[in-house]
């Protein structure tokens, strides 16, 4: 029952209102053929992005076996390659995309990605030069940065400003589905021995060929869509200036450094922000350790001297990621429904405690039987961390500083992840990967226990 007395605000369920708004906006955007075709093509392209990751991991595993490369160190360098475009060119991408025709940006970027991805297996087999492959992969991810910036910017041109919420909801939904399928199907694709019947050898090269095909499909669909649209892909806020992109870029970088100093003052004043940034350090440390250390454990053979693995190949990476994703979805629903009753920083600490124990458990697990439930538990614990960090920042950071806090946080996550992955990868030259992963898990548990004592009696939010 609602209260409709004068001067009173009706007691309306905000969740129901939001759900109704999503439904009311979702159906109209699905009646726009150009947007539906655009969304499907981008889902295919995103599937290709994840397939590219899986193919790169399978390629590293192949060369590690053939030439006795250190797989963990190679993956750590891949982590740097993935993060570097955003660290170096994130601000510049936004500046340039706002000055260019976004339609052409998307078509050109996916056209280049088609060619570059096709070149990776050919050059890898011809040269066996990992650093050359990383250079090409860097260009692939750099074009992906510009493509994604243009993709998000052009959605209002496709559906109209009043339907953006429904469009973003649909894009987010199919994006999650494409990501999930890319991890699971991608692992199966790059390990499928059936490719040998088509004379595709090694089999992991098929992942790159299919990835290039997804980008080509995206190019074709975009060309068809954009021919049917008016000239709405170019930003019209101001006439483009010539020869000042570099100047604006360095001005942006200088301003970012000033904002980081100002942000530090916010961090010092607000215990909740300090807690979030400390959480980011543990989050990045765990993520880098699992990515660099545990993927080789999944891929490598059980009888490998000094570092026995699960022998599941790259398809095993997809299986573990899929199981973790299921846990993440479940905890997202449960925490979204009941999390408002709990203290978010306490839930995050308990989640980190669980994640640290899971990392230690994965390090000592010698078969897939314990790994499957541990991956699911990790997914359950991960969602409250992500939701809690965002919510704490929304609750305590003033609106005037909110944009800087979130943008700087994302930039720092990429930077710290690259640094952590690089450091952990170099440590594998001195310590076995399982021992390193176990040590990281124990370190996170110890820091979390200290966090319980440090926050006891303190008002975090």
List the domain range (segments joined by +) for residue 131.
25-234
Of the candidates 234, 258, 278, which is a domain's last residue? 234
The verdict on 262 and 133 lying in the same domain is: no
Q: CB atoms < 10 A from the CB of 80, how many?
A: 17
DSSP code, position 101: B
Predicted confidence at residue 456, as pLDDT, reads: 82
The verdict on 301 and 372 lying in the same domain is: yes
Q: State the burial class of residue 222 (Cβ atoms within 10 Å of its Cβ: 0-12, 13-18, 19+).
A: buried
Provide the number of structural domains found in the chain: 2
Sign of the CA dihedral with 185 first, then 191, 194, and 199 last: positive
The verdict on 304 and 415 lying in the same domain is: yes
Of residues 36, 47, 37, the one with CA closest to residue 214: 47
Alpha helices per DSSP H over 270-312:
271-289, 295-299
Task: For residue 196, tell me if it sits in a domain.
Answer: yes
Predicted confidence at residue 232, as pLDDT, reads: 46
CATH, residue 45: 1.20.1250.20
Of residues 196, 218, 190, the one with CA closest to residue 56: 190
Q: How far apart are CA 416 and CA 397, in angstroms?
A: 22
- How high is the mean pLDDT in each 10-residue block of the chain (461 residues)? 40 41 62 83 84 90 82 90 87 76 89 95 90 93 88 78 75 78 86 90 92 91 76 45 57 61 64 84 93 91 70 90 87 77 87 96 92 94 86 74 68 88 92 93 95 80 58
The verdict on 139 and 29 lying in the same domain is: yes
The verdict on 261 and 393 lying in the same domain is: yes
Question: Is-cis flag, bond preceding 202, omega within 30?
Answer: yes
The verdict on 230 and 248 lying in the same domain is: no
Of the candidates 234, 265, 288, which is a domain's last residue? 234
Task: For residue 46, tell me if it sits in a domain.
Answer: yes
Task: For residue 12, tell me if it sits in a domain.
Answer: no
The verdict on 228 and 353 lying in the same domain is: no
């Amino acid at each position: 029952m609602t209260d409709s007395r004068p001067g009173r605000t009706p007691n309306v369920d905000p969740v129901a209102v939001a759900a109704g708004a999503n439904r009311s906006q979702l159906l109209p955007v699905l009646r726009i053929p150009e947007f539906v075709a655009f969304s499907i093509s981008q889902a295919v392209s995103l599937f290709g992005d994840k397939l590219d990751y899986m193919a790169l991991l399978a390629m590293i595993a192949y060369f590690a076996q053939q030439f006795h490369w250190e797989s963990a160190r190679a993956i750590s360098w891949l982590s740097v390659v993935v993060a570097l475009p955003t660290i170096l060119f994130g601000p510049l991408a936004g500046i340039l995309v706002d000055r260019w025709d976004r339609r052409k940006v998307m078509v050109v970027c996916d056209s280049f990605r088609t060619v570059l991805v096709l070149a990776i297996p050919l050059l890898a087999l011809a040269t066996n030069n990992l650093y050359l492959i990383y250079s090409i992969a860097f260009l692939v991810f750099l074009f992906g940065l510009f493509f994604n910036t243009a993709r998000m910017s052009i959605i209002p041109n496709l559906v109209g400003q009043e339907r953006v919420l429904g469009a973003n909801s649909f894009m987010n939904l199919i994006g999650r589905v494409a990501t999930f399928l890319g991890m699971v199907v991608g692992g199966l694709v790059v390990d499928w021995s059936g490719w040998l019947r088509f004379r595709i050898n090694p089999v992991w090269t098929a992942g790159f060929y299919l990835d290039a095909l997804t980008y080509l499909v995206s190019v074709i669909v975009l060309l068809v869509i954009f021919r049917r649209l008016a000239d709405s892909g170019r930003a019209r806020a101001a006439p483009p200036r010539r020869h000042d992109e570099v100047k604006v870029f360095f001005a942006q970088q200088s301003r970012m450094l000033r904002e980081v100093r100002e942000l530090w003052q916010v961090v010092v004043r607000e215990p909740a922000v300090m807690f979030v940034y400390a959480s980011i350090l543990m989050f990045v440390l765990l993520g880098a350790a699992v990515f660099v250390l545990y993927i080789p454990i999944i891929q490598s053979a059980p009888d490998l001297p000094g570092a026995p693995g699960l022998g599941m190949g790259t398809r095993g990476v997809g299986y573990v990621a899929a199981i973790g994703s299921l846990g993440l979805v479940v905890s997202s629903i449960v925490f979204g429904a009941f999390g408002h009753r709990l203290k978010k920083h306490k839930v995050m600490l308990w989640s980190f405690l669980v994640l640290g124990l899971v990392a230690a458990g994965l390090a000592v697990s010698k078969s897939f039987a314990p790994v499957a439930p541990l991956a699911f538990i990790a997914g359950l614990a991960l969602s409250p961390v992500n939701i809690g960090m965002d919510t704490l920042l929304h609750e305590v950071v003033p609106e005037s500083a909110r944009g800087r806090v979130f943008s700087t946080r994302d930039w720092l996550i990429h930077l710290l992840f690259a640094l952590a992955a690089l450091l952990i990868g170099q440590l594998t030259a001195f310590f076995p990967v399982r021992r390193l992963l176990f040590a990281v898990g124990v370190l996170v548990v110890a820091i979390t226990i200290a966090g319980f004592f440090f926050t006891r009696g303190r008002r975090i939010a």
